Structure 1
Amino acid sequence: MKKKNHLRKPLSPPKFLALGFAAIVLIGTFLLKLPIASSDGTSTPFVDALFTAVSATSVTGLVVVDTGTHWSFFGQIVLLLLIQIGGLGFMTSATWVALMFNRRISLRERMILQEAMGHTQMSGIVDLIRRALIYSIIIEAAGAILLTIRFAMDMPLSEAMYLGIFQSISIFNNAGFDLMGLHHGPFSGFPAYVADPYVNLVLMALIFLGGIGFIVIFDLIEYPKTRKISLHSKVVLTVTSTLIVLGAVLLFILEFSNPRTLGPLSTPVKMMASLFQSITPRSGGVSTIDISGLQQSSQFFMVILMFIGAAPGSTGGGIKVTTFAILIGAVVAMIQGKRDVVLFRNRIAQAVVYKSITLTILSLLLLVGASMFLSVTEQGDFLIILFEAVSAFATAGLSMGLTPELSDIGKVTVSSLMFLGRLGPLTLAYALSRHNHKDLYRHPEGKIIIG
């Protein structure tokens, strides 16, 4: 009898989310493998279809085939749906459908939504989802209109509208898929618009808004009324802005005379390109210069930016800017001999500090193991392989050109990194926060020499 009850026990929210994402990936793989999904009417190899489905669902943007030239209109629509579901989260999308039919959201579903959104409390979670969907539609529609206006100068209006809609949804969800291969050649990206301030500003705004998360967006919208910003939003905005400015300055200095990147550009365009390349590691997945042409110092710096990633509850990946802020706060507290980690005059709970350290170390271990494995299975310099691994895990979508050259086992490995990067830290954080069992005793204190 106990065994039957155990078997009927509902899945925990982390398991439910993982299985849900896996189901979406499998459905996407099946649809992308259909002959109708490719532009030439042939069936795409299973590994390539799987890789693309994982990349779209995890809103990464790494591709083994060019999005614009390989996939048909049907295939591109499938990708767009996977990106939208992956960016918002399948539970968020399912909740939207349920709300449309006035169905009541159960307590268990609210717990899963809280996990999916990275929210600190369950109260108001349904309202948060409703507003997230509304703001997503508004931002994506605005981005589509603005991009359509610009693209209409270079192509027919119907084509410009489709391109504008696709790129707005892809960029806001930090997916990084683009259709530029139709106009500038396979895997071309946005270098043709490196000197176009209009396109740059629209894309940067979409990446930024998608990377800071809905909770921060809500705080900013409500600020004129409340005159208050939560600690979470203060940390996200401060760290994100600091990393963007620091990244832009460093890339400008490091690449100023590089003939393969900023060298041939005018000074104003160099500044704009540096800013764009500093914002896109938030998980944007698009670039306006050749990433493989960057100096090694710049490439490694971008690896660090990708590893840090975006904000919790956003469409971006990485260990998250809040985790990074807590780690820096812990270092400062230790150096100053203080007991507590304090951010903006608020003490951070010790459990949260431990969780941040655990997430970072586990992420580093995973990347070290994956990079070593890829260095055995793939051909290329280690920095190129490391860049690929971090980009996949952080769902950043940037590549130095290794992705199309991956072996089948390399594609599976990178696909696993993308999947774990989208779910792993989130699931682990939930598991750690729910196991609050306290020992009834404490072990004797031991002495260990460090440093």
Structure 2
Amino acid sequence: MQINIYKGIKIRPVQILVLGFALIILIGGLILTLPIASSSGTRTPFIDALFTATTSVCVTGLVTVDTGTHWSYFGKTVIMILIQVGGLGFMAFATLISLIIGKKITLQERLVMAEAMNTFSLQGLVKLARYILLFTFCVEGIGALLLSMVFVPERGLWTGIYYSIFHSVSAFCNAGIDLIGQFRSITPYAENPIIVLTIGALIVAGGLGFTVWYEIFDYRKKRKFSLHAKLVLTVTAILIVGGAILMFIFEVNNPATMQPMSTKGKLLSSLFASITPRTAGYNSISTSDMSPAGRFLTIILMFIGGSPGSTAGGIKTTTAGLLVMTVISVIRGREDTEIYERRICKDIIYKALTISVIGLTLVVVVSMILSITEVGASLEYIIYEVTSAFGTVGLTLGLTTKLTTFGKALIILTMFSGRVGPLTIALSLARNHSGNTIKYPEDKVLVG
């Protein structure tokens, strides 16, 4: 369906989403080039400002300059606002402004909201937008309050409050941008349960998806979950618990990461190393010093990411879950994908497969190009960086600051594709077409 925006000029909702995110990134990048945005009072190169705006709006966390030391409080506040807008989506904020000024939400705006929030229908969209905003600010407020128990005594009242708010917003929106300085993330707090568990909980809360939280809060009335919520909660639990166990096995004897820690620190770091690739970007242990198995597991978790309708990126938990259950159903000899005694429509399976293939293709192609342009960088570092950008994670092995200008531009496009969604971008570029009524003769091809 197309929307008439000006004198016969028509545009589809997916195209509005792509252009909207691109415009916010450009405006943010221009503001960050201003001398007032840097702590030194000098202009920041446009490519670095654009990179920072992109990583903020796309809630990724990869940075070419140190956020804690390079930017002034004005620049940091701009980054925090970009993170909030990017995490919730610009349509949620447009809805908030419309509600404040008493403007009626039109059908065209509801169509774009439905596309942005990844919902099945147009019913209850304004109510859902109100709930998303209220839930977000409440959770971020609680997170900031808990973090202030550490940051206020350590850094003073006002600086501590600012740090608490910034990191709460960054964690809930799955951005992973920090103010600790020197690209250390939260490694100085690896054995601090308040910091690690609070940020970890905020990451999970932001990555579950707003519709799932709505069902959780509404469970006492309905006493049941939708299939979508069941799948999200199941896959999320498996990835967190399974990832934590594997991380503990891979890193517990690694002298560069967990071996020197106490038992408490090892358990906290294992859990956090399982949570943060989904797609936050904080790290409590040195990612570059992790074992090869730990780094490979991180790449897998980054590619999967969070859940639909959340602040996270990646191909999403439901996509991964559907593909796995499709394989299991085929092995069992079933004609359809079956989950929790429900049959999944083949159109949804095709969409999940399309998203995965496009995402994997993007990672492979960008990695191949960077292996040519980034001389001296190992293939492992490049794949890790590209997967982190696509999954809007923000973890890095130290390659980000060493990227060439072309490499930075390519990672910017990868982050943008990951945040908006590879399928959304593909649909926005595709020509408008009606359903194909022609059915060709069926035939067979050998596979396997």
TM-score tier (shorter): over 0.9
Indicate which of 393, 397, 410 corresponds to 1:396: 393
Is 1:380 paired with 2:377?
yes
Is 1:413 paired with 2:410?
yes
SS, match of residue 281 in structure 1: coil
Kindly provide the amino acid, as one letter, of the partner of residue 317 in structure 1: G
After superposition, residues 12-23 of structure 1 pair within 5 angstroms as: 12-23=12-23
Give the equivalent residue in structure 2 for 1:29: 29
Q: Bigger shift: 427-436 or 201-210?
A: 427-436
Indicate which of 288, 293, 300 corresponds to 1:292: 288
Is 1:120 paired with 2:120?
yes
After superposition, residues 146-295 of structure 1 pair within 5 angstroms as: 146-181=146-181, 186-295=182-291
CA distance in 1: counterparts of 2:5 and 2:269, whole angstroms: 59
Deviation for aligned residue 1:429: 8.4
CA distance in 1: counterparts of 2:88 and 2:263, whole angstroms: 38
Give the equivalent residue in structure 1 for 2:69: 69
Give the equivalent residue in structure 2 for 1:145: 145
CA distance in 1: counterparts of 2:6 and 2:155, whole angstroms: 60
SS, match of residue 87 in structure 2: helix
CA distance in 1: counterparts of 2:392 and 2:52, whole angstroms: 13
Return 5+ residue gaps in structure 1 as ranges: none
Give the equivalent residue in structure 1 for 2:45: 45
Is 1:341 paired with 2:337?
yes
CA distance in 1: counterparts of 2:164 and 2:5, whole angstroms: 52
Give the equivalent residue in structure 1 for 2:308: 312
SS, match of residue 10 in structure 1: strand
Distance 1:436 1:222, change over 3 A: farther
Kindly provide the amino acid, as one letter, of the partner of residue 95 in structure 2: T
Deviation for aligned residue 1:435: 8.1
Deviation per residue, 1:17-49 (Å, 9 max, x gap): 111111101110110000110000000001101
CA distance in 1: counterparts of 2:27 and 2:255, whole angstroms: 44
With normalisation by structure 2, the TM-score equals 0.96
CA distance in 2: counterparts of 1:33 and 1:24, whole angstroms: 14
Give the equivalent residue in structure 2 for 1:78: 78
Identity score, percent: 46
Deviation for aligned residue 1:154: 1.4
Deviation per residue, 1:388-421 (Å, 9 max, x gap): 0000011011111111111111100000000011
For the 8 Å contact 1:115–1:430, the answer to whether it is kept is no
Deviation for aligned residue 1:439: 3.9
RMSD: 1.9
Indicate which of 336, 346, 367 corresponds to 1:350: 346
Between Structure 1 and Structure 2, how many residues are aligned? 444
Deviation for aligned residue 1:153: 2.4
With normalisation by structure 1, the TM-score equals 0.95
For the 8 Å contact 1:355–1:429, the answer to whether it is kept is no
CA distance in 1: counterparts of 2:249 and 2:443, whole angstroms: 48
CA distance in 2: counterparts of 1:200 and 1:438, whole angstroms: 50
CA distance in 1: counterparts of 2:74 and 2:36, whole angstroms: 7
Deviation for aligned residue 1:14: 0.8
